[in-house]
Chains A and B, each alone.
Chain A
C-alpha cells in the first residue's frame, strides 16, 4: 500500500540525529530552569475553544488569533481547540487555583503549539516551544529575572565557545506595550501610522507625528516627553538594558549579546503586543534575534492583564523560546 509520504505545510518530523538535537537542546534548557528553581507544568494539547473566545471578546487576544486557532467539533458536539500558545492556556488553568499557591510561583513548560500560519518563510504550523513564567504578588515585578534567564537560556542554546559566539551574536530588543499609543493617536491617520511604524517606513513623518520618524530610525523619539505617560516606563527600559548588560558581563556587546531599546519593534495601536503574535503583553516586551534568522527565536513580557481578566490579581512575566527556530538558526 502506497501512502502519501509528505507532511502538511508547516509541519516537520525529526529522525535519529535530528531528533537527538532537539531533545539535547530541550534537556540543556530544562536542566538550567530546574536549577534556577522552576518547576515543570504539563499542559494538554486539547482544550475547549470557549475560554479563548471569551478572551477574544475581552480584547485580550486579537481577532486574528481566532484565525490562527485550529478548532473543531468533537464527537460529543463540543467545540475544541488545539493549543496554539502556552500562555493563555496556562493563565486560564492557573487563575482559578492560584489563590492556593505559594507565590512567587516559577514554572516552565515545553511542548508543541499548533497554529495556522500563512505559508511564509520560517512559519511553522506545529513548532516546539519551551517557556517559563513567574507569577507573583500584584505589583511585584520580576521582569529583570525573566529577561536575564531568557538571555541565559539563549546563550546556552547557541553554545558557549567563542567561535560560535562570534558567529551567532544575539540581538535582544526591549520595548513597552502601548508606548507609542499617544503619538499614534495624535497622527492624521492612526491606522496608516501603525502600518508605517511596523514597516519602519520613513514616510511616517508625513502622517503628522514628527517624533515617530526618530522612532522608526533609532527605536526611540529624540524627546522622551513626547511619549506622555509612557515616558517613565521607557526610561526604565534604558535602566533595564544597562542592568542586563552588567549581568551578562563578558558575554555582552559587542561580540555576543547586543541589547536595543526599540519601540518600533513592538508597534501597535492600543495596549497589547504585536498583532497576531502575543497581544496579551501589557508592560515590558522583549524579543531575540539570532544571526542567520530573519524571524525572532523567542520573546517574552509582562502580562498582568490576562490574569486580571481571569479573576486573579497577580503579576505575571514570562517568555518562550522556539526550539525549531533556534535549531534552524544554529544549524
Chain B
C-alpha cells in the first residue's frame, strides 16, 4: 500500500487535483481526517492508498523517516529545510513566487549593509548571495511584510501569490527571486519499493497536463 502525505496548506488543492487525475478515488476524502484510506485503480488492479494530512513543514520529515512513501510539498519548504528526498515532478498549478519586497521601489545601493526579514532565512541567504550589498537576514514567523512597513528591516523576502497584500500596504515587489511549485517528493526506499505504481501515477498526472517545468 502506498502512503501519501498531503499538505494542509494552499498546496492541498493542487495535490488533490493531481491524485484525481491519477484516478485516486477521492469521493469520500475529508479534509478533517488526518489519516484515511482511499482506493486507487492502476494497471495491476485496485488497491488501498493511505493519505495523511500533514503540516507542510513536517511533511518532508514524515517521508524521510519512511512513515509516508511520498507527498506533495512546496519548493519553499524544501529549499528552506532541505530534504534528502527524490523530487520527480513539480505541479503546474498552485504556483507562487518568492520575491524581494521593500517599502520603496529601489534596491539597496552597492556596498550598503541592510536587514532582511523572512520566514525562510536559510534560503534567503542563498538567494541573496553575491549581491553587491550586504544583508543581515533574520527570521520572522509571520506577517513578514510588516518588517519593511514598520522599518524593522529594509527588505523582506516572502511568498507572493496575487500581490494583493503588497499593493494593499503600498509596498513594492522589487524582484522575483524564485518560483515556488507544489512538488512530489519520494523517499529513495519507497521509489524502489513502489517504482511501477509511482511511475504509473506520475505518468497519469503528466498526461493530464498537470506537470510544469
Measured CB to CB, the residues of A under 8 A from B are 118, 120-122, 169, 171, 173, 199-203, 206, 216-218, 258, 260, 262, 265, 289-296
Contact = CB atoms under 8 A, between A and B. Distances in A.
Given A200-B88, A201-B87, A260 B63 contact: no
B174 to A, nearest CB: 27
A255 to B, nearest CB: 13
B61 A202 contact: no
B169 interface: no
* A121, A122, A260, A295, most chain B CB atoms within 10 A: A121
B213 A294 contact: no
B2 to A, nearest CB: 12
B31 interface: no
Interface stretch (B123-131, B134-142, B144-152, B188-196): B188-196
Contacts of B187: 294
19 contacts: A120-B82, A121-B65, A122-B66, A169-B193, A171-B189, A171-B193, A173-B192, A199-B86, A200-B87, A200-B88, A201-B88, A217-B199, A260-B192, A265-B188, A291-B189, A292-B66, A293-B189, A294-B187, A296-B189
B86 A289 contact: no
Contacts of B89: 201-202
B190 A294 contact: yes
A296 B64 contact: no
A289 B90 CA distance: 26
A265 B189 CA distance: 10
Contacts of A216: 88
B193 A289 contact: yes
B84 A120 contact: yes
A167 to B, nearest CB: 12
B179 to A, nearest CB: 12
Interface in B182-204: 186-193, 195, 199, 202
Of the listed residues B84, B190, B211, the one surrounded by the most CB atoms of chain A closer than 10 A to its CB is B84
Contacts of B65: 121-122, 294
Q: Which of A173, A200, A201, A291 gathers the greatest number of chain B CB atoms within 10 Å?
A: A200
A121 B64 contact: yes
B52 to A, nearest CB: 15
Interface of B: 61, 63-66, 82, 84-90, 186-193, 195, 199, 202, 206, 211, 213
B122 to A, nearest CB: 12
Contacts, number: 69
A120 B213 CA distance: 28
A218 B199 CA distance: 8
Given A201-B88, A218-B199, A122 B64 contact: yes
B193 to A, nearest CB: 6
Contacts of B190: 294
Nearest to B60: A121
B213 A203 contact: yes
Contacts of A289: 188-189, 192-193
Nearest to B190: A294
Contacts of B85: 199
A47 B124 CA distance: 40
Given A260-B195, A289-B193, A294 B87 contact: no
A296 B192 CA distance: 11
B202 to A, nearest CB: 8
A294 B3 CA distance: 13
B95 to A, nearest CB: 14
B12 to A, nearest CB: 22
A200 B85 CA distance: 9
A303 B186 CA distance: 30
Contact of B186 (A200, A217, A218, A260): A200
A262 B191 CA distance: 11
Contact of A293 (B66, B84, B202): B66
Contacts of A199: 85-88
A294 B61 CA distance: 11
Nearest to A205: B213
Given A121-B61, A218-B199, A294 B189 contact: yes
B145 to A, nearest CB: 31
A296 B66 CA distance: 11
Nearest to A329: B66
A293 B66 CA distance: 5
Contacts of A291: 189, 193
Nearest to A199: B87
A294 B193 contact: no
Nearest to A262: B192
